[in-house]
């Protein structure tokens, strides 16, 4: 078994929304690795970051991604930082990976600089978001089979672009 599509991208790109839509359109199951992590850890992601730190979270995330890539057949949404793991990036080479790209201004607007996103809370969330995008963009592109810029598209249009295999 193997996912039909693995969806990656920064916070605010629409990974969960588009993945659910894509799965529905294709008539396949949807799975969100962030939900797997919460179930595995028995607590919210923000608590994992606070209580155990980012390295502990990333270790759980890498394990959850590996398991989901083997078990799930359908559409799989990964957390925004999953691609930070070289092991995960290597595992993704065998899959069709959709990179939902979002520009800084639109990403900040969509996330609302939410405190539920541990990496975006802090003194200067906009600068943090920019640094996150700068650091991760090459990694998203390294694993991507399809890239869709989501800034001016609604979720239906993004889903159309993914199904069409278009690079928007």
pLDDT of residue 77: 97
SS3 state of residue 96: coil
Query: Which contiguous run of DSSP H or E holds residue 8?
Result: strand 5-8
Q: Is the dihedral of CA 102, 111, 39, 23 positive or negative?
A: negative
Segment 119-148, tens digit of pLDDT: 455 556 677 778 888 899 999 999 999 999
pLDDT at 126: 73
What pTM, to 2 d.p., does this model score?
0.87
Q: Give per-residue pLDDT as tens, 41-85.
A: 999 998 998 899 989 999 999 999 999 999 999 999 999 999 999
């Amino acid at each position: 078994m193997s996912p039909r599509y693995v969806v990656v991208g920064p916070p605010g790109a629409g990974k969960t929304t588009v993945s659910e839509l894509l799965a529905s359109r294709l008539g396949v199951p949807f799975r969100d690795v962030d939900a797997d992590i919460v179930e595995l850890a028995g607590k919210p992601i923000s608590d994992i970051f606070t209580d155990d730190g980012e390295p502990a979270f990333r270790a759980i995330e890498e394990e959850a991604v590996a398991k989901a890539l083997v078990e799930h057949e359908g559409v799989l949404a990964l957390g925004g930082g999953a691609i930070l793991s070289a092991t995960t990036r290597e595992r993704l080479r065998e899959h069709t990976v959709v990179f939902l790209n979002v520009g800084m201004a639109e990403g900040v607007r969509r996330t609302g600089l939410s405190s539920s996103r541990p990496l975006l809370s802090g003194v200067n969330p906009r600068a943090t978001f920019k640094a996150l995008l700068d650091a991760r963009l090459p990694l998203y592109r390294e694993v991507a089979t399809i890239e869709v810029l989501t800034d001016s598209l609604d979720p239906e249009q993004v889903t159309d672009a993914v199904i069409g295999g278009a690079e928007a």
